[in-house]
Amino acid sequence: MTITVLLQVWLVDYKLFIQHIGNGGDGPPEYGIKHLMTGESWWLNKQRSAWLTFENIKIPFPFSKQWIWEDDEVINVELQDRILDGNIYLGTDGCKIDWTLIVSGGTARVCLANN
């Protein structure tokens, strides 16, 4: 079995663990894994809507490589909102650095997002 296949199997197991068993606990992230459907006090309404109701979970996560939107010449708010698609919020390291689990789309993985 190759490393890629092992990693894919591990991610499937990890997704199932987070969704069904590991509902909260020690991290990483720095402040621990949040309980499912538990939000942060600083979230915007669109984050609450996506991550507390799971309404965006079946929409494929649109990104396959790192994107630093601060480097864009024109702000693309619609594209920025797509970062909420296809993932489950895991927790935060603070300073707007969040951990999410990509559950739909081309590549399943744990992702760090700097909001």
How far is 51 from 98, CA to CA, in rounded Å? 12
The H-assigned helical ranges of 54-111 are 77-81
Q: Which of 5, 7, 6, 42 is nearest to 89 (CA)?
A: 42
Q: Which pair of structure tokens corresponds to residue 65?
A: 């490589």
pLDDT of the residue at 53: 87
Provide the residue ranges of all domains of the chain, joining segments of one domain with +: 3-114
pLDDT of the residue at 32: 84
pTM comes to 0.72
Span 37-69, pLDDT tens digits: 788 998 989 889 888 888 888 899 888 877 777
How far is 20 from 54, CA to CA, in rounded Å? 14
pLDDT of the residue at 3: 46
Provide the β-strand partners of residue 89.
100
How far is 11 from 109, CA to CA, in rounded Å? 6
pLDDT of the residue at 34: 86
Per-residue pLDDT 10s for the chain (115 aa) are 554 444 455 566 666 776 666 667 777 788 888 887 788 998 989 889 888 888 888 899 888 877 777 788 887 888 888 888 988 888 899 888 888 888 888 766 666 566 5
> Phi, psi at residue 109, to the nearest 5°?
-170, 165
How far is 35 from 24, CA to CA, in rounded Å? 4
